[in-house]
Amino acid sequence: MSENKVEMSAEIVQNANVQPQQNNPLSRKLNKILETRLDNDKEMLEALKALSVFFTENSLRTRRNLRGDIERRSLSINEEFARIFKDVKEELESVNEDVHAMSTCCEEMTSRLKAAKEQTQDLIVKTNKLQGENHRLEVRAQVAQAFLTKFQLSGQEMAALRGARDSPITEEFFRALTRVKQIHEDVKVLLRTNQQTAGLEIMEQMAVLQETSYEQLYRWAQNECRGLTQESCDISPVLSQAMEALQDRPVLYKYTLDEFGTARRAAVVRGFIDALTRGGPGGTPRPIEMHSHDPMRYVGDMLAWLHQATASEKEHLDALLKQVTVRGVEENMQEVVGHITEGVCRPLKVRIEQVIVAEPGAVLLYKVSNLLKFYHHTISAIIGTSVATLLITIEDMNVLSKKMFFNSLSLHASRLMDKVELPPPDLGPTSSLTQTLALLREVLASHDSSVVPLDARQADFAQVLSCILDPLLQLCTVSASNLGTADMATYMVNSLYVMKTTLALFEFTDKRLEMLEFQIEAHLDTLINEQASFVLIRAGLSYIYSCVQQHSTQQGPLSTLPGMDTSSLKAAMVQFDLPPPPLVFYDCDYSVDQSTDGSVSSTVSPAFQTAWYPNGGVLKIGAVQHSYFGTLPNFCLWIRQYKGTDPHRTEPHHSVERRHYRVFQC
Amino acid sequence: MATAPYNYSYIFKYIIIGDMGVGKSCLLHQFTEKKFMADCPHTIGVEFGTRIMEVSGQKIKLQIWDTAGQERFRAVTRSYYRGAAGALMVYDITRRSTYNHLSSWLTDARNLTNPNTVIILIGNKADLEAQRDVTYDEAKQFAEENGLLFLEASAKTGENVEDAFLEAAKKIYQNIQDGSLDLNAAESGVQHKPSAPQGGRLTSEPTPQREGCGC
Ligand SMILES: Nc1nc2c(ncn2[C@@H]2O[C@H](COP(=O)(O)OP(=O)(O)OP(=O)(O)O)[C@@H](O)[C@H]2O)c(=O)[nH]1
Ligand SMILES: [Mg+2]
């Protein structure tokens, strides 16, 4: 700083020299000094400050020495600086040395590291390789584990299967078995890959496991079933499940069902025999056999018992096989129920046969047959229409009782024919006819109230009717054979009419009724003709009648014929109008029943009326109407012309002796 | 041996009797299916239904035989009384004639069942109050005189239907408990569940008196 000042003053001097002409140098110097801004010149300020430290005494001497002082000071400062700097330099040298050392050290380390690296290179490669290997192995382990869980049983499952040998079958067993099945199924996938050996092995293993498990299950189920020999039989859910599982092994399934069937069969037989011979507690209900004297009750109780037993057994089977899905379960069930109920067939058959063979009479036989038919129907609703021995037995018994029934009827009929009764004097039905019709009525009535459905009822109706009616008709004809024509016809009409009224009370008899009606008509015709000729002969009109009938126009007028003149005819008509002598008319009751419109018609037989009043009177009866168009009308019309009167208006005043036989005697 | 769980402990056999059209089949249907069959055809012979119900903590299977009321089936239906543990005797509260016939039904029931058979009288169609033809009190008195349980029920609304079957079952169960019903006798109408499925020896069955509650 002091040097600066020196230079500066020199410069000022120079400036004053170089530019003398420029103003006054002094003034310039002055100006400059004046312009100098000491405040802003930091160096100057510092210099002055430093100066103020040691320049304390402003005297000439001090001013003269100032320069030296400053230089001395400067020297000592520099010396000081140099001394201190020397230290720094030494320090730096030491640092430098250290750095060098470090550098060497580092180099050494680097080379050592390099060496180490070279040495471990191999190891690292190896490690990497191993790590890769490890990873691969882990993946494989996972795969293997997955494989095992998929294709092998767990210990627990294995235990469940194995344990079945000496402990009861449980849910777990079925779960394990399902797993075995699943694995066996799944393992087929392996056969399509290159894991065929494993696949085959597992498959075989599972197959073996399955077989032993099924066999154990079968043993267990068989044992369970074997125990079901009591009347009550509750199928445990596990047993149902066992059947569901066993359906995969048809043979075992069938054997188990057989076992079940055999056990139940024994139970049902025992129950049946107990019901027959022991009855309920303390003897009520009484043993069924106590009622063996009452065939209907006896047979009915046995069949009702069997019906109930069959329904219960079907329920048991439903419970046993409710989870089985294989096709044909329904048939299986029917088969087994058939087997179960087979045992009771013999005792049942023996007893019903006894009843039938004891010949309890036609009506009872018929009722028993109907009862059997009813139960055949009822029981087959439960066990289906399969060929169950029980149904066959019932049907056989039905056939037998039906056969015995018809035998009994035929026997009855042949007895009738053996000893033909003569018609009674009143020409009404014979007592054997009434008795036989009473039997028929009883049979038909029992049929009517029978529990057999309608269509089944109709079936053997025709046979019953022909079995009774045909011989009866024959009987009537035979017994009438010795009678005169009018008596015969009357007797037949009377007999046929009782048959008709008997049949009319029942269904399915229309055809027979029609036939009887037809026969009655035929006999009525005969009767009418008989009556007509009787009246004509009695009145002496038969000659006139035949003349009229045979007359032809070539013969000229009727009145020219001999015996046909007006006076003869008039005489004859007087005869005709006269009260006739007592006539025998057989009133076959038609008029009484049907023409209720007047006192006249109600007392006169149709045959008589037709003869007497061809054009009017009571012509409401079909049978009579028929003859209206026969031979009589022509004649009567002709007579009317002659008489000039309408006989229809004339009150008949003939006293008619009538032998009135009422058909409705019952 | 196997202690497999069973579905029920006893089977009780019931019959339902009464005139035609009183609603026997409807009661059974309501009980087993919980539905009302408005146009139910006449029963032909007998029909059959089952249901398992809980009675005094025991599961009991009811096996119910619904008989035809029509006279022509009387001979057949009589065979179903034997071995019934319970009988539901039904009349129709709107038809006095069905009530008047009760004594005939009761005679049949008494003659053809066990002395222990529990008979419950049921006045059905209780929903038809407006057409009532038989009072509650009258029927109640009839029931008391004859030692019958009694309820009015409706197969249509289901009212008291469950109870009718239950009350009878309770009574039967009570008879078993106090030993008045001998289960070892055939056709008692009650069957005990097999205690040892393997045994198969009927006679080896222990007397069930004390066994009732052990399950
Ligand atoms: N309002 C009403 N109607 C009922 C009730 N129960 C039954 N019915 C009707 O009564 C009629 C006869 O009922 P069923 O159950 O067939 O009578 P049933 O006693 O079985 O008759 P059968 O089989 O001939 O002996 C049916 O039309 C039912 O709809 C009831 O509780 N209320
Ligand atoms: Mg009914």
Count CB-CB contacts under 10 A for residue B1: 11
Is a pLDDT exceeding 90 seen at residue B98?
yes
- Which residues, 6 or more positions from A538, have their beta carbon under 8 angstroms from its beta carbon? A580, A581, A583
Band of pLDDT at residue B1, cut at 50, 70 and 90: very low
Alpha carbon of A233: minimum distance to chain B alpha carbons (Å): 7
Whether B187 and A282 lie within 8 Å, measured CB to CB? no
> What number does the ligand 1 atom closest to the CA of B29 have?
15
Quote the pLDDT of residue B3: 42
ipTM of the prediction greater than 0.85, yes or no? no
Closest CA to B99 of B121, B75, B120: B121
**CB B46 near ligand 1, within 6 Å:** no
Q: What is the per-residue pLDDT for A592?
A: 30
Comparing CB atoms, the residue among B83, B181, B193 nearest residue A232 is: B193
If one compares A281 and B121, the residue with the highest pLDDT of the two is B121
pLDDT, position B96: 96
* Yes or no, beta carbons of B79 and A284 under 8 Å apart: no
Nearest beta carbon to residue B198 from set A223, A279, A371: A223
Mapping DSSP onto H, E and C, the string for A324-343 reads: CCCCCHHHHHHHHHHHHCCC
User: In sequence order, which residues have a C-beta less than 8 Å from that of residue A294 and are 6 or more positions away?
Assistant: none
Sites in chain A below the pLDDT cut of 50: 1-3, 6, 10, 16, 579-666
CA distance B134 to chain A (A): 31
- Whether residue B200 and residue A301 make contact (CB cut-off 8 A), yes or no, is no
Q: Give B192 to chain A, closest Cα distance, Å.
A: 7
Tokens at residue A539, please? 């009145």
CB contact under 8 A, A236 and B4: yes
Residues of B whose CB is below 8 A from A226: 198, 200
Are the Cβ atoms of B186 and A236 closer than 8 angstroms? no
Ligand 1 pocket test, candidate residues B20, B31, B40, most atoms within 8 A of CB:
B40
pLDDT at B200: 29
Confidence at residue B192, expressed as pLDDT on a 0 to 100 scale = 65
- Between residues 189 and 228 of chain A, which touch chain B (CB distance below 8 Å)? 220, 223-224, 226-228
| A656 burial level (CB within 10 Å; 0-12, 13-18, 19+) | middle
What are the residues whose beta carbons fall under 8 Å from the beta carbon of A363, sequence distance 6 or more? A439, A442, A443, A446
For residue A86, the model assigns a pLDDT of 94
Angle between helical axes of A362-383 and A431-448 (0-180°, round to 10): 20
Cα three-residue angle B145-B149-B153, rounded to 5 degrees: 120
Contact (CB, 8 A) for B5 and B189: no
Rounded to the nearest whole angstrom, what is the distance from the C-alpha of residue A164 to the centroid of ligand 2?
A: 49
- CB of B154 closer than 6 A to ligand 1? yes
Q: Which ligand is nearest to the CA of B126?
A: 1
A-chain residue closest to B61, CA distance: A234
Helix (H, G, I), strand (E, B) or coil at A273: helix
B154 CA from centroid of ligand 1 (Å): 10
Percent of chain B residues topping a pLDDT of 70: 82
Tokens found for residue B188: 């008692």
- Residues contacting residue A419 through CB under 8 Å, at least 6 positions apart: none
Report the pLDDT averaged over residues B135-141: 96
Please work out whether the CB of residue B94 comes within 6 Å of at least one atom of ligand 1: no
The token duo for A233 is 């039989």
Over the stretch B10-63, which tens digit does the pLDDT of each residue have?
A: 889 999 999 999 999 999 999 999 999 988 899 988 999 999 999 988 899 999
d(CA B18, CA B65): 12
Q: Is the CB of B130 under 6 A from ligand 1?
A: no
Pairing of strands B10-17, B58-67: parallel
The H helix count followed by the E strand count for chain B is 6, 7
Residue spans of beta strands (DSSP E) within chain B:
10-17, 46-55, 58-67, 86-92, 118-124, 149-152, 190-192
User: With contact defined as beta carbons under 8 Å apart, do A161 and A173 qualify?
Assistant: yes
Residue nearest to atom 6 of ligand 1 (CA): B23
pLDDT given at position A608: 38
Distances (CA, A) of A111 to A105, A106, A114, A118: 10, 8, 5, 10
| Residue spans per domain, chain A | 2-100, 158-224, 229-399, 402-528, 551-665
Query: Domain B10-192 sits in which CATH superfamily?
Result: P-loop containing nucleotide triphosphate hydrolases (3.40.50.300)
Do B98 and B19 touch, CB atoms closer than 8 A?
Answer: yes
Note whether A242 and A217 are within 8 A (CB).
Answer: yes
**In b/e form, how buried is each residue of B8-35, taking b as 16+ CB within 10 angstroms?**
bbbbbbbbbbbbebbbbbbbbbbbbeee
Cβ–Cβ below 8 Å for B191 and A311: no
Distance (angstroms) between ligand 2 centre and the Cα of B26 equals 7
**Residue in A220, A224, A280 nearest the CB of B188:** A280
B77 touches ligand 1 (CB under 6 Å): no
| DSSP one-letter string for A404-467 | HHHHHHHHHHHHHHHTPPPPPTT----HHHHHHHHHHHHHHHHHHTSSS-HHHHHHTHHHHHHH
Put simply, whether A379 touches B (Cβ < 8 Å) is: no
pLDDT at B183: 64
Domain range A229-399, CATH class? mainly alpha
DSSP classification of residue A645: S
Please report residues of A whose CB lies closer than 8 A to that of B112: 285
- Look up residue A387 and give its two tokens: 């060929």
pLDDT of B10:
86
Separation CA B135–CA A49 (nearest Å): 141
Chain A residues inside the 8 Å CB shell of B79: 297, 300-301, 303-305
Q: Is the pTM of this model over 0.90?
A: no
- State residue B52's pLDDT score: 92
Q: Is the pLDDT of residue B67 over 90?
A: yes
A168 touches chain B (CB under 8 A): yes
The Cα–Cα gap between A64 and A48 comes to 17
3-state DSSP assignment of residue A658:
strand
User: What pLDDT is attached to residue A122?
Assistant: 87
